[in-house]
Amino acid sequence: MERFERADRLKALPPYLFAEIDRKKAEVKAKGVDIIDLGVGDPDLPTPPHIVEALQKAAADSRYHHYPSYSGLKAFNEAVARFYKRRFDVDLDPATEVITLIGSKEGIAHLPLAYINPGDLALVPSPAYPVYDVAVAFCGGERHVMDLTEEHGFLPDLPKIPAQQLDRAKLMFINYPNNPTAATADLHFFKEIASMAEWHNFLVAHDAAYSELFFDGEAPPSFLQTPGGKDVAIEFGSLSKTYNMTGWRIGYAVGNKDAIAALGKVKSNIDSGAFDAVQAAGIAALDSSQDCVAENRLVFQERRDVLLAGLSKLGLSARKPTATFYVWIKTPEGVSSAGMAGALLSQCGIVTTPGNGFGAPGEGYIRMALTVPAPRIEEALARMAKLSL
Ligand SMILES: *Cc1c(COP(=O)(O)O)cnc(C)c1O
Which among 287, 303, 321 is the end of a domain? 287
Q: Ligand 1 centre and the CA of 246: distance in Å?
A: 8
Confidence of residue 159 (pLDDT cuts 50, 70, 90): very high
The average confidence (pLDDT) of the chain is 96
Are both 299 and 349 inside the same structural domain? yes
Per-residue pLDDT at 143: 97
Distance CA 329, CA 319 (A): 8
292, pLDDT greater than 90 = yes
Mutate to test the pocket of ligand 1, among 17, 80, 100, 104 (most ligand atoms within 8 A of CB): 104
Question: pLDDT tens digits for 333-367?
Answer: 999 999 999 999 999 999 999 999 999 999 999 99
Calculate mean pLDDT across residues 325-332.
97
Confidence of residue 72 (pLDDT cuts 50, 70, 90): confident
Per-residue pLDDT at 383: 97
| Helix boundaries (H) for the chain | 8-11, 17-30, 49-59, 74-88, 104-115, 131-138, 163-168, 187-200, 229-232, 257-268, 276-287, 291-313, 337-348, 374-384
Is residue 149 assigned to a domain? yes
Which among 251, 267, 287 is the end of a domain? 287
17, pLDDT greater than 80 = no
Is residue 389 assigned to a domain? no
Distance CA 352, CA 292 (A): 27
The amino acid sitting at 97 is E
Mutate to test the pocket of ligand 1, among 108, 129, 212 (most ligand atoms within 8 A of CB): 129
Q: Ligand 1 centre and the CA of 363: distance in Å?
A: 22
**Is the distance from the beta carbon of residue 211 to the nearest atom of ligand 1 less than 6 Å?**
no
Are both 338 and 371 inside the same structural domain? yes
Is residue 125 assigned to a domain? yes
374, pLDDT greater than 80 = yes
**Enclosing domain of residue 136:** 49-287
Are both 155 and 175 inside the same structural domain? yes
Are both 148 and 16 inside the same structural domain? no
Are both 188 and 230 inside the same structural domain? yes
Are both 110 and 242 inside the same structural domain? yes
Is residue 1 assigned to a domain? no
Q: Is pLDDT larger for residue 206 or for residue 25?
A: 206
Number of separate domains in the chain: 2
Distance CA 159, CA 91 (A): 31
Q: Which residue owns the Cα nearest ligand 1 atom 4?
A: 105
Is residue 2 assigned to a domain? no
295, pLDDT greater than 80 = yes
Mutate to test the pocket of ligand 1, among 17, 18, 105 (most ligand atoms within 8 A of CB): 105
Are both 106 and 228 inside the same structural domain? yes
**Is the distance from the beta carbon of residue 179 to the nearest atom of ligand 1 less than 6 Å?**
yes
Confidence of residue 240 (pLDDT cuts 50, 70, 90): very high
Atom of ligand 1 nearest to the CA of 324: 15
289, pLDDT greater than 90 = yes
Is residue 276 assigned to a domain? yes
Q: Ligand 1 centre and the CA of 351: distance in Å?
A: 20
- Give the CATH number of the domain where residue 21 resides: 3.90.1150.10
Is residue 3 assigned to a domain? no
**Is the distance from the beta carbon of residue 21 to the nearest atom of ligand 1 less than 6 Å?**
no
Q: Which residue owns the Cα nearest ligand 1 atom 11?
A: 209
Question: pLDDT tens digits for 123-157?
Answer: 999 999 999 999 999 999 999 999 999 999 999 99
Are both 212 and 85 inside the same structural domain? yes
Are both 64 and 192 inside the same structural domain? yes
Q: Is 302 helix (H, G, I), strand (E, B) or coil?
A: helix
Which among 287, 321, 336 is the end of a domain? 287
Are both 61 and 152 inside the same structural domain? yes
Calculate mean pLDDT across residues 228-250.
97
Are both 76 and 216 inside the same structural domain? yes
- Residue 219, CB half-sphere, CA atoms under 13 Å: how many? 11
Q: Give the strand order in the sheet containing 233-238.
A: 98-101, 251-255, 233-238, 203-207, 169-175, 121-126, 142-147
Atom of ligand 1 nearest to the CA of 105: 9
**Is the distance from the beta carbon of residue 240 to the nearest atom of ligand 1 less than 6 Å?**
yes
317, pLDDT greater than 80 = yes
| 80-84, 179-183, 223-227, 338-342: least confidently modelled range | 338-342
Are both 100 and 188 inside the same structural domain? yes
- Give the CATH number of the domain where residue 182 resides: 3.40.640.10
**Is the distance from the beta carbon of residue 181 to the nearest atom of ligand 1 less than 6 Å?**
no
Calculate mean pLDDT across residues 52-69.
96
